[in-house]
Amino acid sequence: MREDRHVVGVQEKPETLDDSALIAQSVIDPERFAVLFDRHADEIHRYAARRLGAEPAEDVTGEVFLVAFRVRARYDRTWPDARPWLYGIATKVVAQHRRAERRRIHAMSKVGAERPGSFDDRSADRVTAEQLQPRLARALTRLSAAERDLLLLVAWADLTYEDAALALGVPVGTVRSRLHRLRVKVRRALGGIDPFAEEPQHG
Amino acid sequence: MDDEIRTFADGRPAAPPYPAEARAKARDRLLREAREGRGFRFPKLGWQAAAAFGVTVALVGGVAVALSAQQPKLGVATSAAQSAATQSAAVLDGDLRPKPGQFIMVASDTMYSSFSQANGKMTRYLYRTHREIWQSADASADGLLLIAGLAPKPWPGEPLPKEAQKWKGESWMQLASCPARLAAFRTDHAYLSTLPPDPALMRSFLYKRQPGGKGEADRAAFVAAGDLVRETYMPKAQRDALFEAAKEIPGVQVADGVEDSAGRQGVALGRESQGILEQLIFDRDTHMLLGERHTVVDAKAAGAPVDSVLALTAQLKVSVVDRLPEHAPKVERDDSCTPQPGATTDSTEQPTALPTDEATDLLSDGPSDVPSDGPSDVPSDGSIYKPTDGPTDEPPAPVPTKTG
């Protein structure tokens, strides 16, 4: 009678549970959700930092897990890995910073032409490494917000098409067709400059 | 991966490390939400903490009503609390009628299990707290939460882990009121008053509020019942309906004479989950929540010996107060309603207003295909609140002190 439950219930230690079982337990034992944070916070932070920069990423990461915690009862437990779900929430939270992101991308797209004025208090090397190449930044500016979300989930978060579909709440067919469209746009944008020219590296 | 995407993948910017301090803060914030969460978690009672305020007592049995607008501090029983607790079955019959702008204060004692994972190692124990929570009766103002640590207990059959020793102290937290965002997850009095006072309708609300996956619907409904009565004040008609509705959830067992952590007996509605019988203990007549008790029934599934108790609480006092207590030296801010864009490198950046629909959307997105909206027959904002006691002209409730 308890056969099915044992699939998750017999493993009482959170570190042996998959994300889905952990989230299921966290509905009853909310604190278990902290284990999910332990597992994935660094990864979500990396993604947020790539998109928005170091400081906003800290707030975004915290917010992602708070939101996830609050909606955990609605997690689709047929998915053992919570990462696509977390990335989906991260995408929504990042979207709240859309204007900041646009400014950031815009600024990065002009490195070389003019130097952004906010390098003051950090290592210039590190900041340089955290910048997107100007030509890629320029290409990003040609994409819609939804296209950017999809592209970066696949390219920076390494989600499969299926995972990206899950994260964005769209059918995988939609992901494929959107990717096709955005590839064309990106190709055009990248082709607009000499692809072999090295971007000047300032720092 | 296609070439264009590969180009972006290869060109991904380096990510800065997640600063340990920020990471710890975020984790802590999450844990706090888990332990103390608005509506998602537990009640507690704190008469020991009450000594920290001056005390102006207006205690009617277990239900204190402090209606004086001049009263700057909440009414909390101190020495009377223990006796109040033991006689509460008789006294928890107060019918509170909070007005808009007032606060519901609930005080409770809790013990729940704590799990954490560090360096791949899991630790667990039973943590205990006193809690006092103030929530705007009509969600019109931010609330406040006081948590005072109590000596923890070891997980049954295991030694107390080192990290459990850090229980001392108390903390104050602002509880941001975001009725629009919480929608059907609201637990303020005004919202609870709009729930159907009919068992069948209440039942369907329970099933819709927190839809579970396949085979999880009954459990989710039972969890929803607990969330609605924990640290809240629901009118009698809704309490009765909720009790009857929860009783009929498949798997729910009724038991009489179950004791809460204050030794009060009541009728328990329990449901087994993961080898643990989780009981909500109600006053037999008033259907006020007395407390909760989680008892192991399957050692293997629960990871603890049969009959050991993994959670035990008592909700000792529910009262109406005009304002938040003033003795909150340091209050942790709660920005969860209005996420601010983080600092950017561009100082001219203006905060981006968050469209309402996007905020609502936040709560609903993810791989789940369950409809995100709350039950459509339940109002989702505080505007339906109608004072029953005539016009009020109390001054607006003070906003909790903000720090940082």
Look at residue B370 and tell me whether its pLDDT is greater than 50.
no
Residue where the block lists tokens 């939804």 = A146
Question: How distant is the Cα of B272 from the closest Cα of chain A, in angstroms?
Answer: 11
In the numeric block, which tokens belong to residue B135?
A: 């929530």
What was the pLDDT predicted at B28?
84
Query: Mean pLDDT across the stretch B216-226?
Result: 85
Amino acid at A30: P
Look at residue B390 and tell me whether its pLDDT is greater than 50.
no
Over residues B294-328, the pLDDT tens digits come to 999 999 888 899 999 999 999 998 999 998 987 65
Residue where the block lists tokens 């952004």 = A116
Question: How distant is the Cα of B254 from the closest Cα of chain A, in angstroms?
Answer: 19
Over residues B61-116, the pLDDT tens digits come to 223 322 222 222 333 333 333 333 322 323 355 578 898 999 999 999 999 887 66
H or E element, residue A181: helix A172-191
Residues of A in contact with B116 (CB under 8 A): 31, 34-35, 38
Look at residue B258 and tell me whether its pLDDT is greater than 80.
yes
Mutate to test the interface with A, among B3, B5, B308 (most CBs of A within 10 A): B5
Look at residue B386 and tell me whether its pLDDT is greater than 50.
no
Query: Higher-confidence residue: B148 or B57?
Result: B148
Query: Higher-confidence residue: A128 or B396?
Result: A128
Taking CB atoms and an 8 Å cut-off, how many pairs form between chains A and B? 274
Query: Mean pLDDT across the stretch B43-69?
Result: 27
Residues of A in contact with B18 (CB under 8 A): 41-42, 45-46, 49, 57-58, 61
Residue A185's nearest CA partner among A146, A130, A129 is A146
Residues of A in contact with B19 (CB under 8 A): 58
Domain boundaries in chain A?
A: 17-96, 99-134, 142-195
Nearest CB to B301; choose among A9, A73, A85: A9
**Region for residue A158 given its phi and psi (left: phi exceeds 0; alpha: psi -120 to 50; beta: otherwise):** left
Residue-by-residue DSSP string for B300-358: HHHTS-TT-EEEE-EEEEEEEESS--S--SSEE---TTSPPPPP-S-TTPPPPPPPHHH
Look at residue B214 and tell me whether its pLDDT is greater than 80.
no
Residue B306's nearest CA partner among B320, B290, B295, B294 is B295
Q: Which fold has domain A17-96?
A: Rna Polymerase Sigma Factor; Chain: A (1.10.1740)
Look at residue B378 and tell me whether its pLDDT is greater than 70.
no
What was the pLDDT predicted at B190?
94
Does residue B1 belong to the interface with chain A, where contact is any CB pair within 8 Å?
Answer: yes
The dihedrals phi and psi of B148, each to the nearest 5 degrees, come to -120, 130
Residue B15 to residue A151, Cβ atoms within 8 A: no
Residues of A in contact with B273 (CB under 8 A): 28
What was the pLDDT predicted at B45?
27
Look at residue B54 and tell me whether its pLDDT is greater than 60.
no
Residue A35 to residue B117, Cβ atoms within 8 A: yes
Provide the residue-wise pLDDT of chain A in tens; the chain has 203 residues: 333 322 223 334 555 678 888 888 787 778 889 889 989 999 999 999 999 988 899 999 999 999 899 888 888 878 889 999 999 999 989 988 888 888 888 888 876 544 444 444 445 555 567 778 888 888 888 899 899 999 999 999 999 999 999 999 889 899 999 999 998 888 888 875 444 444 444 43
Look at residue B332 and tell me whether its pLDDT is greater than 80.
no
C-beta separation of A108 from A137 below 8 A = yes
In the numeric block, which tokens belong to residue B289?
A: 């929540």
Among residues 30-69 of chain B, which lie with CB inside 8 Å of chain A? 30-31, 33-35, 37, 40-41
If DSSP codes are grouped into helix, strand and coil, which group holds residue B40?
coil
The percent of chain A in helix, strand and coil, each rounded to the nearest 5, is 70, 0, 30
Among residues 17-46 of chain A, which lie with CB inside 8 Å of chain B? 24-35, 37-38, 41-42, 45-46
Residues of B in contact with A99 (CB under 8 A): 341, 349-350, 352
Q: Compute the half-sphere exposure of residue B120: CA atoms within 13 Å on the CB side of its CA.
A: 0
The dihedrals phi and psi of B241, each to the nearest 5 degrees, come to -65, -40
B199-209 and B236-247 helices cross at what angle (nearest 10)?
A: 70
CATH number at A142-195: 1.10.10.10
Residues of A in contact with B347 (CB under 8 A): 118
For B301, other C-beta atoms within 10 Å of its C-beta total 21
> What is the CA angle B184-B173-B36, rounded to 5?
55
Dist CA B246 CA B286 (whole Å): 15
Dist CA B159 CA B153 (whole Å): 9
What was the pLDDT predicted at B2?
66
Dist CA B183 CA B227 (whole Å): 14
Question: How distant is the Cα of A79 from the closest Cα of chain B, in angstroms?
Answer: 9
What was the pLDDT predicted at B241?
97
C-beta separation of B36 from B131 below 8 A = yes
Sheet containing B309-312: order of strands: B253-259, B265-273, B276-282, B289-296, B309-312
Residues of A in contact with B337 (CB under 8 A): none
> What is the CA angle A43-A47-A51, rounded to 5?
165
For A143, other C-beta atoms within 10 Å of its C-beta total 19
Residues of B in contact with A25 (CB under 8 A): 274
What was the pLDDT predicted at B36?
60
C-beta separation of B342 from A55 below 8 A = yes
For B170, other C-beta atoms within 10 Å of its C-beta total 16
In the numeric block, which tokens belong to residue B230?
A: 């924990």
Question: How distant is the Cα of B219 from the closest Cα of chain A, in angstroms?
Answer: 9
Look at residue B354 and tell me whether its pLDDT is greater than 90.
no
Q: Tell me if A17-96 shares its fold with A142-195.
A: no
Residue where the block lists tokens 């729940």 = B112
Burial environment of residue B338 by CB neighbours within 10 A (0 to 12, 13 to 18, 19 or more) = middle
Q: Report how far apart, in Å, the C-alpha atoms of B179 and of each of A27, B139, B205, B261, B337 are.
A: 21, 6, 18, 32, 9
Look at residue B195 and tell me whether its pLDDT is greater than 90.
yes
Residue A56's nearest CA partner among B355, B30, B340 is B340
Does residue B391 belong to the interface with chain A, where contact is any CB pair within 8 Å?
Answer: no
C-beta separation of B313 from B44 below 8 A = yes
